[in-house]
Amino acid sequence: MAEALVSGLKGQLRSFLLENLKEEVALVAGARGEIEKLAATFENILAVLNDAESQQVKKESVKVWLLKLKDIAYDIEDVLEEWHTRILKSQIDGVDDNVGLISVTEMVSSSALFLCSFFNKLILHDDIGRKMKKLRERLELRELSNLNNLRGSLAIANIKGGGSKESIGDANLKNKEHLRTLLLQFVKEAYEGKRDDDDSAIELFEPHPNLEELEIWYYGGSKLPNWMEFPTNQSSSIMLCRLQIGKCRNLEVLPPIAKLESLQYLYLEGLDSMSAKGLFNGLEASSTTVAYPNLKKLVINGQKHWEEWVMETSSENINVMPLLRDLYILNCPVLKSVPHQILSLSVRKLFIKNCPELRISCLPPLLEELTLDGDAGSLSSSFPFKNNTSLKVMWIQDSPHLTLPRGLSQFKTLLILKILDCNSLMCIPDELRHVTSLHELVIARCSILGPRCEKEVGKDWSIISHIPNIIYG
pLDDT in tens, 270-290: 999 998 888 887 665 556 688
pLDDT at residue 213, rounded to an integer: 96
Q: What's the confidence (pLDDT) of residue 190? A: 54
pLDDT of residue 300: 97
Q: Which residues contact 263 (CB under 8 A, 6 or more apart)?
A: 240, 241, 242, 243, 257, 292, 294, 295
The reported pLDDT for the residue numbered 25 is 39
Residue 243 is predicted with a pLDDT of 97
Asked if pLDDT for residue 463 goes beyond 80, the answer is: yes
pLDDT over threshold 80, residue 50: no
Give the pLDDT mean for 314-341: 89
61, burial (CB in 10 Å: exposed 0-12, middle 13-18, buried 19+): middle
Res 318: pLDDT = 81
Could you tell me which residue, 194 or 338, shows the higher pLDDT? 338
Mean pLDDT of 337-363: 93
Residue type at 97?
D
Where do runs of H (alpha helix) occur along 173-310?
Answer: 196-203
pLDDT of residue 135: 52
Average pLDDT of 5-17? 54
Percent of the chain topping pLDDT 70: 62
How high is the pLDDT of residue 120? 34
Residues listed for the chain: 473
pLDDT (tens digit, 9 = 90+) per residue, 115-142? 333 333 333 344 555 555 455 444 445 5
Q: Is the pLDDT of residue 444 over 60?
A: yes
Concatenating the DSSP letter of every residue in 119-171 gives PPPP---HHHHHHHHHHHHH--GGGGTT-TT--EEEEEEEE-SSS-HHHHHTT
Mean pLDDT for 251-280 is 91
Higher model confidence: residue 19 or residue 294? Answer: 294
| Least-confidence region, from 9-23, 81-95, 428-442 | 9-23
pLDDT for residue 101 is more than 60: no
Whether residue 302 is predicted with pLDDT greater than 90 in this model: the reply is yes
Of the candidates 289, 345, 279, the one whose C-alpha atom is nearest the C-alpha of residue 316 is: 289
Check if the beta carbon of residue 291 is closer than 8 Å to that of residue 257. no
Q: What is the pTM of this model?
A: 0.75
Specify the higher pLDDT residue, 59 or 33: 59
pLDDT, position 188: 81
For residue 71, the model assigns a pLDDT of: 64
Q: Sorting pLDDT into bands at 50, 70 and 90, what band is 447?
A: very high
pLDDT band at 76 (very low <50, low <70, confident <90, very high): low
Contact 329, 354 (CB under 8 A): no
pLDDT on residue 23: 42
354 pLDDT exceeds 90? yes
Higher pLDDT, 18 or 69: 69
Question: CA 54, CA 38: separation in Å to the nearest integer?
Answer: 24
Q: How confident is the model at residue 21 (pLDDT cuts 50, 70, 90)?
A: very low
pLDDT of 24 > 80? The answer is no
Give the mean pLDDT of the chain.
76
Which of 36-45, 180-189, 208-217 has maximum average pLDDT?
Answer: 208-217
Q: How confident is the model at residue 369 (pLDDT cuts 50, 70, 90)?
A: very high
pLDDT above 70 (res 144): no
- Interior angle at CA 227, CA 292 and CA 209, nearest 5: 70
Provide the pLDDT for residue 259: 87
Helix (H, G, I), strand (E, B) or coil at 443: strand
Q: How far is CA 396 from CA 415, 428, 466, in A?
A: 14, 13, 20
Per-residue confidence (pLDDT) for residue 111, from 0 to 100: 38
